[in-house]
Each structure stands twice: as structure tokens, then as C-alpha cells.
């Protein structure tokens, strides 16, 4: 889900340059850090990636350290062309993951059947001539052209969008390079937060007018038993109680926890959560599909939730360092 809001309007001209120093390519251009310095607040947030400092940085750094100069040069081209086309960092990440998966980020002159180039495009399938698809500039632009035609590509996990372009028989393999691609966006593209979900965004979100009513309803259910799939009125599961809570304030949110995370409202860093915001836990916090529990934050390090079979609706203390805590909170009604 992409939430975009510009709070301060400015006109900015940024020169895009590529600097080669000691074999390391740095792409300098329009990025969230530069914009922040001049007063433009980027409120974009893609929860499929989440704040990059939430985890995965070590794997990304290690994977990137194995790249050769040719491969890093391809990454630099992907980023610089994306910047020239004014595409968001998410698009660069998708292209990096696809290129690494298909060719190891190399303009190969061979492949399966007639597949060629960085993205293993097939001339017989209308991607271009052999000379074109093995030309990195053509191939990168062609990849972006097809990506932009994918419905809701910005709302998907990057590997899913890569698969939508490539149509591979092995769709899950693009996820393997998610950490590395995000690291390279930070290192070469100078975008520390490719998802736009970093610190301080939450301070600019409007307060949820539904929060007070939702909290009041949920507190009224304290002591009611947990029931898997429970929608009340006398038994609840973790997501069902929140659907009814926000319904009292005329706010509709999805029924299940991972959908509430992806589609339930506006995102903000979890440590900036305010009373009434939703907080989540997952077996793999880097993958929203694995979200398995949701609660309502009450403030003061406390949250209210329907925990599990054999338990009741209750108030608990949050452990901000627990490894399953998702990096983003969700503010319904915003």
C-alpha cells in the first residue's frame, strides 16, 4: 500500500551525476534525504518493504559485497535511469532484484531458449531485437516500461512485481535479493529509507478521530474469551475485535490481521504509535504475509488484544525489542 502526501511544496532542481572512484560507483540524485534537508516531507510508505533499519541490513551488505565491478555498474545504470525517469526507489529495487535473479546483473549474450541480457528478455516474445535486449540502457528502460504497466505494482512486495514483469516459472526466487537490492539503493543511490517508512513520518499523520470510540469498545470486551474466528458479541479473535471496534466509529478495516497490516490505514514507525493505532507481530517481520497477531496500542507501552485460545481479552505490556514485532504500526481512518 502506498500512502503519499506532500506537506511542503517546493521546486527543486537536482543534478544527477554518476561518480566513479576506486572502482566504486555512487549515484547521486533526487532522494529522500536530500528532500528532507530542504523541507519537502516525503510521506510515501510501502509496508511490503518497511523501514530498512528494521532488519535484513547485514544480509544485504554481505550479498552486495560479493558483486563484481561489472555488476555494480549495472546497478548504477538501473538507479540512474530510474532517477532520470523520475521513478521511485521501489522501481529501482524491483529492477535490481529481477536483474540479479535473471542474469546476476550481467548483459548475457546467452540464456534459456532465446533469452538474453540483464533481464533475460526473449526477442521471440516481442521484447526487442537481440542487439537491443543485450544493450543495458535499452533493457533497463524496457523493464521499467513493462513494470509501469503492471497494475498496482507499487503496492506489491518488490519480488512480486519483478515476477509480474518476468513471468518466471519460479516466482519466489526474486525475494532472495530483496535485502541486497535495498542495501544497494542506500549505498549507491543514497536513499537510506527506500520504502519511505522511516523515522518522523508518523508525526505528520493526522490523529485518528476513530481512536477514542474504538478504544472504548475494546475496553468493554475485557475478560471476554478468545475464539479463533470469533466476531463477538461474547468471544473474539485478535482481528475480529478490532473490526467491530472501528465499526463503532464508522471505519471499515479488513477482517484478517495481515490484511489489516497491508490495507488497514496509514503506516508509521511502530515506535511512534499513538493510542488507537494497530500494532502487529509476524513470524518473519520482513514478510507481511507472515503477520499472525494484531493488537490496539493504548499508550504508555500498553496494548489491548485477544491473545490466543484459553486466554481472554486483556491489556499487556509491549516489548519493543521483541523480534516478531512488525516495524510499522497502522492508523485506521487516515
Q: Which residue has the cell 490523529?
A: 207
Per-domain residue ranges for the chain? 17-187, 207-331
pLDDT of residue 28: 37
pLDDT beyond 70 at 8:
no
Residue 210 CA to residue 334 CA, distance in Å, equals 9
- CATH architecture of the domain with range 17-187: Orthogonal Bundle (1.10)
pLDDT digit string, tens, across residues 22-77: 333 334 333 333 323 323 233 456 666 655 554 456 778 889 999 999 999 999 99
Yes or no: is domain 207-331 CATH 3.90.1720.10?
A: yes
Per-residue pLDDT at 195 = 65
The model carries a pTM of 0.60
CA 329-33-297 angle, to 5 degrees, is 10
Look at residue 18 in the predicted model and tell me its pLDDT: 36
The stretch 213-217 carries a mean pLDDT of 94
Amino acid at each position: 500500500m502506498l500512502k503519499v502526501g506532500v506537506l511542503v511544496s517546493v521546486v527543486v532542481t537536482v543534478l544527477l551525476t554518476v561518480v566513479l572512484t576506486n572502482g566504486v560507483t555512487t549515484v547521486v540524485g533526487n532522494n529522500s534525504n536530500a528532500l528532507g534537508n530542504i523541507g519537502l516531507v516525503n510521506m510515501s510508505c510501502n509496508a511490503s518493504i518497511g523501514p530498512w533499519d528494521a532488519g535484513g541490513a547485514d544480509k544485504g551488505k554481505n550479498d552486495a559485497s560479493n558483486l563484481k565491478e561489472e555488476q555494480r555498474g549495472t546497478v548504477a545504470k538501473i538507479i540512474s535511469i530510474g532517477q532520470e525517469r523520475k521513478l521511485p526507489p521501489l522501481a529501482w529495487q524491483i529492477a535490481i532484484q529481477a536483474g540479479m535473479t535473471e542474469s546476476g546483473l550481467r548483459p548475457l549474450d546467452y540464456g534459456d531458449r532465446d533469452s538474453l541480457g540483464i533481464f533475460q528478455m526473449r526477442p521471440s516474445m516481442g521484447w526487442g531485437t537481440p542487439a537491443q535486449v543485450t544493450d543495458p540502457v535499452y533493457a533497463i528502460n524496457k523493464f521499467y516500461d513493462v513494470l509501469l504497466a503492471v497494475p498496482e505494482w507499487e503496492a506489491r512486495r518488490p519480488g512480486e512485481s519483478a515476477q509480474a514483469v518476468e513471468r518466471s516459472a519460479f516466482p519466489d526466487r526474486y525475494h532472495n535479493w530483496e535485502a541486497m537490492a535495498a542495501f544497494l539503493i542506500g549505498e549507491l543511490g543514497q536513499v537510506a529509507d527506500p520504502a519511505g517508512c522511516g523515522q518522523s513520518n508518523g508525526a505528520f499523520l493526522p490523529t485518528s478521530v476513530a481512536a477514542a470510540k474504538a478504544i472504548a469498545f475494546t475496553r468493554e470486551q475485557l475478560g471476554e474469551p478468545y475464539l479463533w474466528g470469533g466476531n463477538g458479541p461474547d468471544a473474539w479473535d485478535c482481528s475480529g475485535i478490532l473490526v467491530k471496534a472501528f465499526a463503532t466509529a464508522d471505519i471499515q478495516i479488513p477482517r484478517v490481521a495481515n490484511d489489516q497490516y497491508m490495507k488497514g490505514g496509514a503506516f508509521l514507525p511502530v515506535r511512534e504509535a499513538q493510542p488507537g493505532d494497530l500494532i502487529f507481530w509476524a513470524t518473519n517481520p520482513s514478510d507481511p504475509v507472515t503477520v499472525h497477531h494484531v493488537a490496539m496500542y493504548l499508550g504508555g507501552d500498553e496494548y489491548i488484544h485477544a491473545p490466543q485460545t484459553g486466554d481472554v481479552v486483556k491489556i499487556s505490556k509491549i516489548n519493543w525489542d521483541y523480534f516478531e514485532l512488525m516495524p510499522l504500526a497502522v492508523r485506521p481512518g487516515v
